[in-house]
Amino acid sequence: MGKTPGKKSATSRKVIERLRSQKLVTGHGDDMRFKSPTDGKWYDINEADMAHITDAVKWWNRKGRYYGAKSKTVREFMLNEENYILEHYKYNRSQGAKLPDRYKSPVDLIKSLIKPEKL
């Protein structure tokens, strides 16, 4: 699927501005803080991860794998600022590790439309 955008990326800047308008980010530069959606506490921006609102693995297994790993649709999902929030790294990484889902292989749509006995 590609990497999650970093905190200094164009996508991240849009996420920060969206969250700032919702009063979930305050300050600027070294004094920037964000509010964790998990515990409601404020943290230094350096402790933030870009966290998917819809788990990337769930989206991939349900939809993305039908387009291919580096397809335009998958990249659009990964770069769309509306798909992200800021979350404290300990919560984001812990929640991701607890998911039972694992990435499934991309689906070859041509082969999936042909009956197995014809392959």
As a whole number, the mean pLDDT across the chain is 88
pLDDT at 97 over 90: no
- pLDDT for the residue numbered 59: 94
- Cβ pair 106, 69 in contact under 8 A: yes
What spatial distance separates the first Cα and last Cα of the chain, rounded to whole Å? 28
Mean pLDDT along residues 54-77: 91
Q: How many domains does the chain have?
A: 1
The pLDDT of residue 74: 94
Q: Let me know if residue 119 belongs to a domain.
A: no
Q: Is residue 55 part of a domain?
A: yes
pTM of the predicted model as reported, rounded to 2 decimal places = 0.81
118 located within any domain: no
> Domain limits at 50?
10-113
- For the residues of the chain, what is the DSSP string, one character each? --PPPPTTSHHHHHHHHHHHHTTSEE--GGG-EEE-TTT--EEEGGGEEEEESS-HHHHHHHTGGGT-TT-HHHHHHHH-GGGEEEEEHHHHHHHHHH----PPPPP-HHHHHS-GGG-
What is the C-alpha separation between 102 and 69, in angstroms, rounded?
15
**What does the pLDDT read at residue 98?**
76
